[in-house]
Structure 1
Amino acid sequence: MGPGPVGGDQADRPPGLPHRAGGGALEVIAVVVAVGSFAALFLLWRFYYFFRDPERRPPPGDDVLAPADGYVVYVHTVRAGEVPVAIKGRRSIPLEELTALPGIGGEGTLIGIFMTPASVHVNRAPIGGVVRRRVHRAANRNRSMARVLTNLLVGRRPYAEDCRYLVENERNTIVIEGDRLTVAVTQIADAWVSNIVCRVAEGDTIERGARYGMIRFGSQADLFIPAGVPIQVLCREGERVGAGESILARIGGNG
């Protein structure tokens, strides 16, 4: 009599293919290890890397410094209190709407800095002086800033075109009056932000380059320099800058 039928999975396996004992278990282990590694990296970013706060040494002088780490997404000339940003079918938005500062207007320069997930999210004073105003505006829902991040990654300009977070998201603005210049800094929250931290109050004195706040888990910081004092803007769109170190504008330049 010839050999009987082969039982088990050997009957269905093509000739020449070895039997892999425990192959399914190994695949499960590989998936678990991969997921665990991703989770560990996320937790490392979430609770350590994101909250890093390296020391910064402001350059000497009174040049205007970046209030945030990140990339410059626009440098706009403000005229008659209007910012030339196209949002929701409008060709410009009021500076008062962007900063949440009642009565602000006139002429000046607005610089927007987008903070990526890899940026240090501690905010620093662009000039030294006295905090004259502090205004916070809540939001019903913060919109995602994914569009501006995508535009930066692919090099699509203008980076912030039709980004509705510029007028709809939560924000906090402080006005710093220095010896030669007064500026306004606006912290704008992203969709994933747990809260905006601002550790200065009206009447406080702050040093140039000093820490004053933080936007947790994302966002943008805008710097408005009113006209009246000649300045020379030294940054450009797409440039990477560092809070408290990078010079955005020089007072007394040929602006």
Structure 2
Amino acid sequence: MKIHREGLGTIVLTALVLALLNVAVFYFLGQVPSLTWGFFIVSLILFLFIISFFRIPARDMAQDETLVISPCDGKVVVIEETFEPEYFKDKRLQVSIFMSPANVHVNRNPISGEVKLSQYHAGKYLVAWHPKSSTENERHTVVIGNGKTDILVRQIAGALARRIVNYLKAGQQVKQNEELGFIKFGSRVDIYLPVGTPVKVQLDQVVKGGQSIIAQLV
């Protein structure tokens, strides 16, 4: 397991803050060992959680250009036909994946191809499962085309996730499962597919980024 580069600053800052707090607690409450040890244990648990949040587990990635591979870890919360207003401006098949704070938060390219759009939008911080979060929350939209079809991937911030990182630029050639970006502290990723695309997941199914098959390209 590795630690993602997006987390290095946060981990160092957390370690410094917790160390200073523990020194202060020991200095002022050292005569009450149960309090000082209790605070140390809580601090250690919090620090380990922060480290786990930025983890990159070792995985055997699925590689198949006829498949759409999950761009993130999480649970499938939406599978429906809907109007996509930003890029396609027509009906698309939407698959949405909710990422909890306990999930791995690396986002990956679901297919290989050319980046046709990479656009950041400032916005609100509604809870990730709110119906309007896809269009009103802070978000970053990416469209990847492989010559046969275009897939839209939208990173969406939530009530806790207030920093979206995206590494792609328009015109760039990308490969399936390479890093697309990172969302800090949980949120949601929407995938927009052509209507009629055979979907290989079900509602409430838990998926893994780079491994789980979302759909079959036709």
Please state which band the TM-score falls in when normalised by the shorter chain: 0.7 to 0.9
Partner of 2:148: 180
Matched, 1:42 2:46: yes
Partner of 1:222: 190
Equivalent residue in structure 1 for 2:88, among 94, 104, 107: 104
Matched, 1:248 2:204: no
- Measured in 1, the distance between the counterparts of 2:73 and 2:31 equals 42
Equivalent residue in structure 2 for 1:51, among 49, 54, 69: 54
Q: Secondary structure at the match of 2:117?
A: strand
Counterpart contact for 1:71–1:239, Cα < 8 Å: yes
The superposition leaves residues 92-127 of structure 1 with CA deviations (integer Å, 9 ceiling, x where unpaired) of xxx32xxxx2x5322221000011111110000000
Matched, 1:165 2:130: no
- CA positional deviation for 1:244: 1.2
CA RMSD of aligned residues (A): 2.1
Which is greater in Rg?
1
- Measured in 1, the distance between the counterparts of 2:31 and 2:78 equals 48
- CA positional deviation for 1:189: 0.8
Matched, 1:213 2:184: no
Report 1:11-22 matches (<5 A): none
Partner of 1:156: none
Unaligned runs of 5+ in 1: 1-24, 82-94, 146-159
Matched, 1:200 2:168: yes
Percent identical among aligned pairs is 30
Partner of 1:232: 198
Equivalent residue in structure 2 for 1:131, among 112, 115, 122: 115
- Measured in 2, the distance between the counterparts of 1:108 and 1:169 equals 20
Counterpart contact for 2:119–2:140, Cα < 8 Å: yes
Counterpart contact for 2:125–2:162, Cα < 8 Å: no
Counterpart contact for 2:100–2:185, Cα < 8 Å: no
Q: Secondary structure at the match of 2:120?
A: strand
Matched, 1:120 2:121: no
Report the structure, 1 or 2, having the larger strand content.
2
Partner of 1:14: none
Counterpart contact for 1:58–1:208, Cα < 8 Å: no
Counterpart contact for 1:50–1:118, Cα < 8 Å: yes
Unaligned runs of 5+ in 2: 1-28
- CA positional deviation for 1:163: 4.7
- CA positional deviation for 1:43: 1.7
Distance 1:163 1:204, change over 3 A: same
- CA positional deviation for 1:45: 1.6
